[in-house]
Amino acid sequence: MLLTVVALALFSRNRFPLETSSLMVLMLLVLGFHFFPYYDNGVKLESMSFFVGFGHEALIAVCALMIMGQGLVRTGALEPLGRFLSRYWSRWPKLSLFGTLVMAGMLSGFVNNTPIVVLILPVLATVAAKSNTSASSMLLPVGLATLVGGMSTTIGTSTNLLVVSVASDLGVEPFGLFDFFMLATLAGAFAYLYLWLIAPLLLADRKPAMSDFSPRVFMAQLKVPEYEDGTPPSLSDIIAMTEGELVVRGVKRGDHTLIPFPDMALRSGDLLVVRDTPNRLKEFERSTQLVLYSDGLQVGDENPLSEKEQQMAEIVIVEGSPLVGRRASVINRARNIDMTFVALHRAGPSPDVRKSKLGNIRLAVGDILLVQASRDELKRLKTDENLLVLDASTDIPTTSKAPLALGIMAAVILSAAVGLIPIAEAAMVGSLAMLLTNVLVWREVTQALSVQVVMIVVVSLALGLALTTTGATQWLADGYLRMMEGSSPRLVLAGLITMMAVLTNIVSNNAAAVIGTPIAISIASSLGLAPQPFILAVLFGANMSYATPMAYKTNLLVMNAGGYQFSDFVKVGVPLMIMMVLILSWMLPMFYGF
């Protein structure tokens, strides 16, 4: 119990990355049970048992489905949906919003909601700008719709997979793929109506980053090249070449920064610190014959900025990204993408690059980087969940492999739905099929996997094992029933959903789900009722990550893209959470007859 409290405390704070907190909790469990062994009916709980999660069916299914989702993204299989939205939004914006909410929700029942959100955000930002409507009234409702839809099938979210897998491990009859689809869809219908009609009225008119089509100003460096006569032009000559438009903030010469006097004599290798829009930076490069430069990588040599196949893109560092706190110059190595960091935009006071190299600046949440890469590399960049591409000009293309990717995904879902093969095995076969048919290559497979998701699933399973084996779940269930003494089973179930909904907005939803599932089974056993409705109470409650931006990764994507504040999630998410708790507390007993 003490370790569970420590885990929840770590998960609810941002002091460490979630994957680091997960590893810390896992090591505490292993070391704790190694030095203080626990015996269950004379059988020792081995500390190495907590590593079993790395091979658990739930984790295998989660990883395989992430890989298959990457296949859909890489082939552009979902791209026609974006084009469909763009086509009809100008005619019927209100109905198009409702259609988008329902479409996003339904897709999220079968595909990881992150690529769905990444696909839809630029489309909504573009149509909002063209129709002169508020993008902030649409982005958050659509993001929450994917969370609502994700709870409709056993494969909708990793939380669902964990709950049904843990319940099966504890002896409960396994849930089928669509066993609670009708229940979740009926409840979701009320949520979609709320997100369509009421949520936009609760949201203030924000200025989303993705709807800001005015040019952003970036910090950059222009390098003075070697000249044939050995004498570079003076600073005043360089400025004159731009008709006085170039504003130089400083001149870096070796380890020193010089004040940019107009008649300063420049030397080869000098770096001019400038600040302007991407288009003007490129124009300055052409007119002055200087080259954009980034921490030893200068355009025109091994990183040709002027190649026709090269393009620029603006990308945002989002909350939770492993790039936060790292030097800007390592972004290409950190993300395994061949690109050149060119310039930086930061809201508020700009970093003082006169004192250090631009590439040495530590990245922060909300930083917008101007990068240069080939068209293919930018397509890969768009699939990176830790970065948000603002420039929507380079869309994920529809390729000849898109129908194949959709067919493989449909075959996996169908085989699991009819009970032909468990979802973990079906998804692994589907992943292999995508590799064999070149829908994906191995580099894209590794990019699809998230260390954060893997670690939180493993540590959640480890916590569940510890709680169940030591009897802590029964103790918690008995305590909860004592607190609810005299209440009807319906009220007990409503309280369980509420508790899980609150917990999932504070800590990891996977951790909340794995801790709650054995407790739900114990509660049902104590009441003499079937465990299924109480297990679903945990599943649905753990999916209600509506009220805080840190509750779910897509919330952070939406927050950054839409320019939302914490209060926006509270104003929209809390009423939605209360509504869903009430509806499901009423519907679950109806469906299961108590």
375-416 confidence digits (pLDDT tens): 677 767 766 666 777 654 444 444 578 889 989 989 998 898
Long-range contacts of 521-525 (CB under 8 A, 24+ apart): 521/167, 521/170, 521/172, 521/473, 522/473, 522/474, 522/476, 522/477, 522/478, 523/477, 523/480, 523/481, 523/492, 523/496
Query: Are 125 and 227 in the same domain?
Result: no
Tokens of 440: 């994906």
**Quick one: pLDDT at residue 393?**
45
Q: Tell whether 523 is covered by a domain.
A: no
Tokens of 484: 């609810």
Contacts of 382 (CB under 8 A, 6+ apart): 118, 389, 394, 395, 396
The torsion angles phi and psi of 530, rounded to 5 degrees, stand at -65, 140
CB 506 within 8 A of CB 548: yes
Query: Are 264 and 238 in the same domain?
Result: yes
Entry field: residues in the chain: 594
Q: Which of 458, 374, 377 is nearest to 23 (CA)?
A: 458
CB 301 within 8 A of CB 359: no
- Average pLDDT of the residues in 578-589: 95
Q: What percent of the chain has pLDDT over 90?
A: 23
Query: Are 192 and 139 in the same domain?
Result: yes
C-alpha span between 98 and 199 (Å, rounded):
12
pLDDT-derived band at 313, boundaries 50, 70, 90? confident
- Average pLDDT of the residues in 284-299: 69
Q: Tell whether 580 is covered by a domain.
A: no
pLDDT-derived band at 262, boundaries 50, 70, 90? confident
Mean pLDDT score across all residues of the chain? 81
Query: Are 404 and 313 in the same domain?
Result: no
Query: Are 358 and 405 in the same domain?
Result: no
Query: Are 279 and 311 in the same domain?
Result: yes
Which of 414, 433, 451 is a domain's end point? Answer: 451
CB 309 within 8 A of CB 375: yes
CB 237 within 8 A of CB 178: no
pLDDT-derived band at 575, boundaries 50, 70, 90? very high
Q: Tell whether 482 is covered by a domain.
A: no
- Average pLDDT of the residues in 33-51: 86
**Quick one: pLDDT at residue 397?**
45
Q: Tell whether 237 is covered by a domain.
A: yes
pLDDT-derived band at 471, boundaries 50, 70, 90? confident
CATH code assigned at 250: 3.30.70.1450
- Average pLDDT of the residues in 26-51: 87
Q: Tell whether 1 is covered by a domain.
A: no
Query: Are 187 and 105 in the same domain?
Result: yes
DSSP string, 97-160: HHHHHHHHHHHHTTS-HHHHHHHHHHHHHHHHHHHT--THHHHHHHHHHHHHHTTSSTTSSHHH
The torsion angles phi and psi of 177, rounded to 5 degrees, stand at -55, -40
- Average pLDDT of the residues in 574-592: 95
Residue 594 to residues 265, 487, 489, 533: CA-CA distances in angstroms?
87, 14, 8, 10
Q: Of 146-150, 366-370, 523-527, which range is least confident?
A: 366-370
Report the number of secondary-structure helices (H) and strands (E) in the chain. 24, 12
C-alpha span between 417 and 426 (Å, rounded):
10
- 3-state SS class at 234: strand
Which of 409, 433, 451 is a domain's end point? Answer: 451
Of the two residues 11 and 526, the one the predictor is more confident about is 526
For the chain, what is the domain count?
2
Beta pairing partners, 312:
372
Tokens of 481: 């029933």
C-alpha span between 150 and 533 (Å, rounded):
18
Query: Are 222 and 341 in the same domain?
Result: yes
Place of tokens 């430069």: 293
Q: Tell whether 528 is covered by a domain.
A: no
pLDDT at 577 over 80: yes
Q: Tell whether 587 is covered by a domain.
A: no
Of the two residues 113 and 539, the one the predictor is more confident about is 539
**Quick one: pLDDT at residue 308?**
43
Tokens of 194: 């709320």
Query: Are 203 and 110 in the same domain?
Result: yes
**Quick one: pLDDT at residue 180?**
94
Q: Of 69-73, 115-119, 265-269, 357-361, which range is least confident?
A: 357-361
Q: Which residues of 3-19 are buried (b: 16+ CB within 10 A; e: fewer)?
A: bbeebbebbeeeeebbb
Tokens of 41: 């009916």
Q: How far is CA 377 from the centre of its chain?
A: 20
Q: Tell whether 36 is covered by a domain.
A: no
Which of 334, 353, 381 is a domain's end point? Answer: 381
3-state secondary structure 375-435: HHHHHHHCCCCCEEECCCCCCCCCCCCHHHHHHHHHHHHHHHHCCCCCHHHHHHHHHHHHH
The torsion angles phi and psi of 321, rounded to 5 degrees, stand at -70, 140
pLDDT at 555 over 60: yes
C-alpha span between 388 and 557 (Å, rounded):
7
pLDDT-derived band at 326, boundaries 50, 70, 90? confident
pLDDT at 334 over 70: no
Going along 496-585, which residue ranges are E strands? none
**Quick one: pLDDT at residue 495?**
93
**Quick one: pLDDT at residue 238?**
87
C-alpha span between 78 and 438 (Å, rounded):
18
DSSP 299: B
Q: Of 138-152, 248-262, 315-329, 571-585, which range is least confident?
A: 315-329
Query: Are 103 and 135 in the same domain?
Result: yes
**Quick one: pLDDT at residue 319?**
61
pLDDT at 215 over 50: yes
CB 115 within 8 A of CB 78: yes
Query: Are 269 and 363 in the same domain?
Result: yes
**Quick one: pLDDT at residue 394?**
41
**Quick one: pLDDT at residue 126?**
67
Tokens of 182: 């009708």
Domain that holds residue 252: 218-381
- Average pLDDT of the residues in 228-245: 83
Of the two residues 545 and 594, the one the predictor is more confident about is 545
Host H or E run for residue 257? strand 256-258
pLDDT at 198 over 70: yes
**Quick one: pLDDT at residue 345?**
75
**Quick one: pLDDT at residue 172?**
92
pLDDT at 343 over 70: yes
Query: Are 274 and 292 in the same domain?
Result: yes
Cα-trace Rg, the chain? 27
**Quick one: pLDDT at residue 299?**
45
